[in-house]
Structure 1
Amino acid sequence: MRTSYRRWTEFPYPGESLPPKGSPEAGNWPMFFISRGRDNDFLDPFHQRIIWRIKNPLEIDWETELFIVEETLKSLTSQQISIAQYWGTGELTTKITTLIFNLAEKYRLGSPSVARVQSYFHAAVNDTFVITWFLKYHWDVARPNQYDRNLSTVLFTPRFPAYPSAHATVAGCAETVLSYFFPQESSELKKIMEESAKSRLYAGVHFNVDNKEGLNLGRQIGEVVVSFLRAQNLNTLQ
């Protein structure tokens, strides 16, 4: 079933009279592991076309998604509010970088290995942001507060399109890449990154589907990076 949806560039935020203006430029930045083909195609490091595993917004029931946001905000617990505030304050990559240093200390990694993990993680995040920004502005999906102007959110709503959630795509990518380097931590990493993604629903700034599909997309980008790492046959850290 194909449904219509509101465009981010067509509806003002609460208290404003004009639609927001965004900055789509990041969707055209260079990438480290992914390249552009023709007609908005993207290629992996082995020059194979990537079929993104993410729903087209026309396939999503946005009225149901809005209901989920509204009901979630009505019944928020103090813990959920804390989760929203923790993950929504400061840069997400700062928190994940700290996590990497903690894991490096736990497993007593040497400086070259720490540098390797950090460099691949941040390069992967760069590619994740580029793909996310491309899709955000390509699909131009409105935020929850552009559907319900009386929505009482925990955090301010960012001024760029909703779908997919960048918090979620970065979290999904981080989960996959860091699980490659620290396989013993994969279950805990999954738990942490899913909480980060879900925090955007608790904050009231994203639809649940933004986060679910964002995680899927981020994990797929992470898989692209891991496939490149595996081809190097250097999966040991010292």
Structure 2
Amino acid sequence: MKIKIYTLLLAIGLVILASCEKDTPRYLPYEGYTFTELNANGGDWTPVLLDAGDAIDIDAPDATDSQAYQDELDAVKTAIVSMTSKEKNAVKYWTNNPTVRWNEIALELIAKYNLIPGPNEDGTYTLPNPANPEGPPAFPFAHPPYACRALAYMSVAQFDGLISAWHYKYQYNRAAPYQVDEGIKYAYEENDIPSYPSDGAVIARASRNILTAMFPLEAEYLQQLEEEHLESLINSGSNVQSDITAGVAIGDAVSAMGLSRASTDGMSKAQTPKAVSDSIKQAAFERFGWAWDNLEIPERPVGLTPLFSKVTMWSIDDVESVRPIPPPQLDSQEYLDDVELLKDYARNMTDEHRRIANFWQDGLGTYTPPGHWNRIANEFIVEYRLNPLQTARTLAYMNMAIMDSGISCWDAKYYYHYPRPIQQIENFETIAGTPNFPSYTSGHSVFSAAASEVLAYIFPDEASKVRGWAEEAAISRVYGGIHWSFDATVGTDQGREVAQYTIDRARADGADN
């Protein structure tokens, strides 16, 4: 059966408007809160981009009894008493854990750009081009591999930047403005985390720089958000200007390191020319006797990012070392049993199966499966009242594991090049279209299993819940007719195996000591 995808593009605005809450990011209804821990030793944790024990250089701060610092305190008091209603709302929005807010902004952008480029009048396709981001089509197409990579680089930069910030906070121990001057009222729940350098400024600058590189058409929007965020640090009584200046310097340095890594990680070559894509398909056919075919109308000539498997992983040196077992032969009993299983699901679709398939769909116009798990992580972060450093650590390791698992999944997809059910079962219909890449293993399953394992490590009381959600996400693709059941089960095992490399790294970073 042929799938007419281009009609989806015409209706995508309606799809986004009609989406449920998880499909279009909504800001979590939280305000500043008391942190459960301060992690005074956080500056000793092992970073990801920097070498262990290193910190980004910044100057020593002025003493709180210096005239320069007293002038800064006066500037804070003047700013607070002259706040507009818009500025007061900004203080309330950014909170004392803005790491979550920047993650939400990233999810918003992913959803906005998660659109398949439409076909040209002659049926050909023009791919998004970072050298011409305005297009058409606009760059990027924020599909799941692109999304997980953007989230990983932003989260890692945030984490490494805050490790440096925590190092200097407890080296210099300069108190926050509201603790130095009783005339300054703090907008959030008080804590004893030193203010120099500003952790909020680190987050603002690192996030803006990474997201601007990933979503270049949003540069002005991201600059406006950063300016609002930095202003809120003064208006909330959190920081004086020198705190912010030092935090911005750390954010610039760490994001430059992250973007330097990104420039050579292989992502620029992940979307291949047709000749390379055809050679990958032919190699699989010669190896196994089968190959996946794209059944769209008009057909995109190349599958989605065939060489994403060659992108540099965060915690694994060799992607082939985590390649899953081969899928069943097309004449095997296991395969034939799965054909009947999918036919049975399609004939006897229940309301519950449809609900599960739709809930975990995370398709066009949404923040993708990696984004879905970031939303889940953000909710736990707020519920457990993590501080900004703990938050960045959680999101960094989770997104590193998600990205590594995606690279591993794409290695399996294009190495095995296994056909999807819609290609093999006569007159078969899915309830959710069909993706533009091979079947085995299931991306939803791999992404979800990897994310859930990291969350189970960070939030052990939630382990059973998140693992159950990952298994539901996996089976949702079988209910929807997108995948074979072994795509889901093997993919779940694959995601868990890959995540363990990241978890082992996390356990050795000093945070658990």
Shorter-chain TM-score tier:
0.7 to 0.9
For structure 1, the residue ranges without an aligned partner over 5 or more in a row are 43-49
8, 12, 21: which one aligns with 2:302: 21
Give the counterpart letter for 1:73 in structure 2.
A
196, 203, 216: which one aligns with 2:493: 216
**Number of the residue aligned with 1:194:** 471
340, 346, 351: which one aligns with 1:73: 346
**Number of the residue aligned with 1:64:** 337
Q: Deviations over 1:98-120 (max 9, x none)?
A: 11111011111111111110111
**Number of the residue aligned with 2:405:** 128
Distance in 2 between the 1:65 and 1:19 partners? 28
Q: Deviations over 1:167-192 (max 9, x none)?
A: 00011111211111000100101111
Q: Which has the larger displacement, 89-98 or 136-145?
A: 89-98
* Deviation of the 1:5 alpha carbon: 6.6
**Number of the residue aligned with 2:133:** none
Q: Structure 1 stretches (4+) deviating beyond 6 angstroms? A: none
**Number of the residue aligned with 2:503:** 226
Distance in 1 between the 2:478 and 2:424 partners? 15
**Number of the residue aligned with 2:421:** 144
**Number of the residue aligned with 2:73:** none
- Kindly indicate whether the alpha-carbon contact (under 8 Å) linking 1:200 and 1:211 is maintained by their aligned counterparts in 2: yes
Distance in 1 between the 2:310 and 2:317 partners? 11
- Kindly indicate whether the alpha-carbon contact (under 8 Å) linking 1:5 and 1:62 is maintained by their aligned counterparts in 2: no
User: SS where residue 152 of structure 1 aligns?
Assistant: coil
**Number of the residue aligned with 1:108:** 385
1:163-174 paired onto structure 2 within 5 Å = 163-174=440-451
TM-score normalised by structure 2 residue count: 0.40
- Kindly indicate whether the alpha-carbon contact (under 8 Å) linking 1:13 and 1:149 is maintained by their aligned counterparts in 2: no
Aligned pair 1:55/2:325, yes or no?
yes
Distance in 2 between the 1:188 and 1:5 partners? 40
* Deviation of the 1:15 alpha carbon: 6.8
Distance in 2 between the 1:147 and 1:221 partners? 30
**Number of the residue aligned with 2:361:** 88
Q: Deviations over 1:126-166 (max 9, x none)?
A: 11111110110000100000012411211011010000001
For structure 2, the residue ranges without an aligned partner over 5 or more in a row are 1-287
Aligned pair 1:7/2:291, yes or no?
yes
Give the counterpart letter for 1:204 in structure 2.
G
User: SS where residue 133 of structure 1 aligns?
Assistant: helix
What is the root-mean-square deviation of aligned Cα atoms in Å? Answer: 2.1
Distance in 2 between the 1:225 and 1:217 partners? 13
User: SS where residue 156 of structure 1 aligns?
Assistant: coil
User: SS where residue 360 of structure 2 aligns?
Assistant: helix
Distance in 1 between the 2:327 and 2:300 partners? 20
What fraction of aligned residue pairs are identical, expressed as a percent? 26
* Deviation of the 1:232 alpha carbon: 2.2
- Kindly indicate whether the alpha-carbon contact (under 8 Å) linking 1:27 and 1:133 is maintained by their aligned counterparts in 2: yes
Shift in alpha-carbon separation, 1:20–1:85, aligned structure 2, 3 A: farther
**Number of the residue aligned with 1:32:** 314
Give the counterpart letter for 2:351 in structure 1.
S
Distance in 1 between the 2:475 and 2:400 partners? 24
* Deviation of the 1:58 alpha carbon: 4.3
- Kindly indicate whether the alpha-carbon contact (under 8 Å) linking 1:173 and 1:222 is maintained by their aligned counterparts in 2: yes
* Deviation of the 1:223 alpha carbon: 1.1
Distance in 2 between the 1:28 and 1:117 partners? 25
Task: Report which of the two structures shows the higher radius of gyration computed on alpha carbons.
Answer: 2
- Kindly indicate whether the alpha-carbon contact (under 8 Å) linking 1:31 and 1:127 is maintained by their aligned counterparts in 2: yes
**Number of the residue aligned with 1:45:** none
